[in-house]
Amino acid sequence: MDHRRLRYPAGWEWHLLLPSSTKGQTVDARNPLPELHSWLERSAGRQMNHVQVSELHGGASVIEGTLMIQQPGTQWDTAPLHFRAEQTKLVLLPPDATLVSRLQLPPWQSRLERCGSAPEALLIVLQALLDSFHEGLDRFEQRLSALESVMQSRNRADLLDEIFERRYELLHWSHLFIPIREIEGAAREAFLTALEQTDTARRLQHRLLRIEALLQHYSAEIDTLISMDDAIASLRGNDIMKTLTIFTALFTPATVAGALWGMNFRLLPWSAEPAGFLLICAVVTAFTLFIYLWLWRKGWTGDLLLSRKRRRSRKQQLTEQPGRAAPTEPSDGNVIKQSRKLRHSRRK
């Protein structure tokens, strides 16, 4: 790997350990940084988030660890960024030179030059990493808005799969955000008031709060979409089951009559009568009407057997009649008055 050292006006140093640009040629980083031999051995091969706050021999604080960052141009791939920050030394071991190239462009270059210490520069690096969050969350918001529009216009059967896909995507961004939040808190723990008095720490804190609020808002929206889909599926299932139950009950007399008259017996009631068939049909129709009236009085029919066109036409007829207003929803005051009248009549 290639070792680069950058010195800034405030007196702190930035050490970059980059992959070698020449294939087959490596440089041992332990030669220019012999005191970091143990840290390099611990960081080698680590593919998970890790943050540790410790002290040097003289009592100075140091923060080190690994941060999994998203690879540019990909949606799910991540790579480790190893870091170590002392008061006057910042060491970064990125997976490639993409992050370093971005930090050498405005406005990050001028911000690094204005930093008074290496921990403050580490917060600048975290701010640069959070830029990808805003871009990714903007694309996520577009897909979520499109999903809400599709759900409002037409609730397809496979819509729940798309909602879960957005949920997994939001979880991915949350998993990338939580370690950055942890590193920011660990830096405050390690260097205490030295960071709290800087504008860099305040800006990073405000940006973290803004991203956290967005994640919570998107999570609440997805939970609402899942609840709405469950409610719609439940209502549809209840309507289907009620409709099937009603049709089964209505055709029960005809089924019973067909089963009885389909038996292989010689003597069946009214089988030899000229009007026997018509009489049986009349009995079946009477029982069917009786069952339908009984269901209607129970309130189990109505909207289930009334189509949308008939409901719209009925509502339109009510609005077109002179001197008659369209049916409106009862207000809270009317509901309270009706409940009081009902209780008063029950007491009497």
Dump the DSSP string for 225-293. HHHHHHHHHHHHHHHHHHHHHHHHHHTHHHHHHHHHHTS--S--TTSSSTTHHHHHHHHHHHHHHHHHH
| Position with higher pLDDT, 270 vs 9 | 9
Q: Please answer whether residues 29 and 91 qualify as being in contact, where contact means their C-beta atoms are separated by less than 8 angstroms.
A: no
Q: What pLDDT was estimated at residue 270? A: 65
State mean pLDDT over 219-237: 86
Q: Please answer whether residues 66 and 82 qualify as being in contact, where contact means their C-beta atoms are separated by less than 8 angstroms.
A: yes
Counting Cα atoms < 13 Å in the Cβ hemisphere of 184 gives 23
> What does the pLDDT look like over 284-323, one tens digit per residue?
888 888 888 887 777 666 555 554 555 556 556 656 655 5
- Structure tokens belonging to residue 318: 């009510």
State mean pLDDT over 168-195: 90
- Structure tokens belonging to residue 41: 């051995």
> What does the pLDDT look like over 272-287, one tens digit per residue?
677 777 777 788 888 8
Q: Please answer whether residues 111 and 7 qualify as being in contact, where contact means their C-beta atoms are separated by less than 8 angstroms.
A: no
- DSSP collapsed to 3 states, 11-53: CCEEEEEECCCCCCCCCCCCCCCHHHHHHHHHHCCCCCCEEEE
> What does the pLDDT look like over 229-257, one tens digit per residue?
888 778 777 877 887 888 888 888 888 77
Among 109-118, 179-188, 300-309, the range scoring the smallest mean pLDDT is: 300-309
Under DSSP, the state recorded for 336 is: H
Angle between helices 118-153 and 199-250 (to 10 degrees): 20
In one letter, which amino acid is 83? Answer: F
Confidence of residue 208 (pLDDT cuts 50, 70, 90): very high
Q: What pLDDT was estimated at residue 30? A: 47
Q: What pLDDT was estimated at residue 43? A: 86
Q: What pLDDT was estimated at residue 335? A: 41
pLDDT surpassing 70 at residue 268: no
What is the rounded CA–CA span in Å between residue 166 and residue 136? 12
What is the rounded CA–CA span in Å between residue 92 and residue 122? 9
> pTM value?
0.68
Give the CA distances from residue 75 to residues 49, 156, 173, 220, in Å, rounded to whole numbers and listed in that order: 18, 26, 10, 23
Q: Please answer whether residues 26 and 20 qualify as being in contact, where contact means their C-beta atoms are separated by less than 8 angstroms.
A: yes
What is the rounded CA–CA span in Å between residue 21 and residue 1? 8
State mean pLDDT over 168-183: 92
Q: What pLDDT was estimated at residue 329? A: 44
Q: What pLDDT was estimated at residue 96? A: 86
> What does the pLDDT look like over 132-172, one tens digit per residue?
888 888 889 999 998 888 887 776 667 888 888 999 999 99
User: Other CB atoms closer than 10 Å to residue 92's CB: what's the count?
Assistant: 21
Q: What pLDDT was estimated at residue 179? A: 93
Q: Give every CB contact of residue 75 below 8 A, 6+ residues apart in sequence.
A: none
Q: What pLDDT was estimated at residue 14? A: 92
Calculate what percentage of the chain has a pLDDT beyond 70: 76
Q: What is the mean pLDDT of the chain?
A: 79
State mean pLDDT over 117-133: 91
CA-closest candidate to residue 184, choices 132, 126, 114: 126
Confidence of residue 217 (pLDDT cuts 50, 70, 90): very high
> What does the pLDDT look like over 90-113, one tens digit per residue?
999 998 888 888 888 888 999 999
